[in-house]
Amino acid sequence: MDLNYTPAQQAFRAQVRAWMRENVPGELPDYDTWEGFEAHRAWERKLGDSGWGMVTWPEALGGRGCDLIEWLIFEEEYYAAGAPLRLNQNGIFLLGPTLMEFGTDAQKARFLPRMARCDDMWAQAWSEPGAGSDMAAIRTTAYRDGNHYVINGQKTWSTRARWADWIFGLFRTEQGSQRHHGLSYLLVPLDLPGITVRPIRQLNGLAGFAEIFFDEVRVPVDNRLGDEGEGWAVAMATAGFERGLMLRSPARYQATARRLAALYHAHPDAARRDPALRDRVAAALAATEAYALSTYRTVSQLQAGGRIGPEASTSKIFWSELDLALHEAALAILGKEAELDTPEARRWMEGFMFAQAGPIYAGSNEIQRNIIAERMLGLPR
């Protein structure tokens, strides 16, 4: 792994920085509100129109044809500029790379350009009432009827589904199949007859999640990604992108760690109250840099022809627990003030609002540790 940027990469960084300086909007409303959703979608379309929607995709599919090192550079400049969190991240960071690997040419041409502009907003549909981290327990069925699948069942905890246009997820297409077998990966528009989307309100009163009910919903077979009954393999590729590379770029953590350091220096009383806070802030800064270096190593391996393997589980454990460490350190610095709904507390804490459920979603950390142990011991799965 060469840690020196080439002249071309440095020029690319300058190009991204200049565009962000001219175009990054001011603070947008929360994207779990309709007003905020539309404002974030407008920003995504601006990115897409300039080829920044997903830079690693070919130009013909809405991208810039960049390699993964350039993607990391883009992410660093994006978050350094204070740009908004990506609204369609389930699409561009999870489904998009999966389509690149498993999709037909027709599927890529149909979905990716619209995804890059957020013309189609995507949500994921993995979890069910009896199948959370254990995706192999999925029970929602999709029986074949000619050129369609007919879906019946329920999905829950579907991120961004309240405002989404499409979902991707696993459905049981082989009657009587068990566990990882007989599952297919389907792309489903949410405006089909028989679909009901019910928002799930969070503690803040906003609905960042939804549950989805299917009653004899007819989906074209052409909307299947990969072969019938082979959905588990496709879903594991998506999970690899979620856990190991795309969903949580290190730049996002580096920007948050810098914000944490600024918060610490702005509250000198915190150090007097708890001298150990200095070490916590320093450890967070070091951890974000370690995560960045680890990601650059992974990208170098991929560009040399490798694949993301079980090390994605290690990465997922690391970034999800770093989520918590950054947030908890910020709370400790603010002390009692962090519990108050004041402009000052909101101003400081906004940059730390990562998913506190990180150790649960994308496969709970307990399950990820089991995967690591199985691979280290050579146990059959």
**How far is CA 34 from each of CA 23, 37, 206, 217, rounded to the nearest angstrom?**
22, 5, 10, 26
Q: Which residue is listed with tokens 């944490």?
A: 260
The single residue of 242, 289, 321, 328 carrying the catalytic annotation is 242
- And the tokens for 76? 């660093």
Residues 163 and 211: beta-carbon distance below 8 Å: no
Residue 299 CA to residue 293 CA, distance in Å, equals: 10
> Is 242 marked active-site?
yes
Q: Which residue is listed with tokens 């189609």?
A: 120
SS (H, E, C) the chain: CCCCCCHHHHHHHHHHHHHHHHHCCCCCCCCCCHHHHHHHHHHHHHHHHCCCCCCCCCHHHCCCCCCHHHHHHHHHHHHHCCCCCCCCHHHHHHHHHHHHHHCCHHHHHHHHHHHHCCCCCEEEECCECCECCCHHHCCCEEEEECCEEEEEEEEEEEECCCCCCEEEEEEECCCCCCCCCCEEEEEEECCCCCEEEEEECCCCCCCCEEEEEEEEEEEEHHHEECCCCEHHHHHHHHHHHHHHCCCCCHHHHHHHHHHHHHHHHHCHHHHHHCCCHHHHHHHHHHHHHHHHHHHHHHHHHHHCCCCCCCHHHHHHHHHHHHHHHHHHHHHHHHHHHHHCCCHHHHHHHHHHCCCCCCCCCCCCHHHHHHHHHHHHHCCCC
The set of catalytic residues is 242
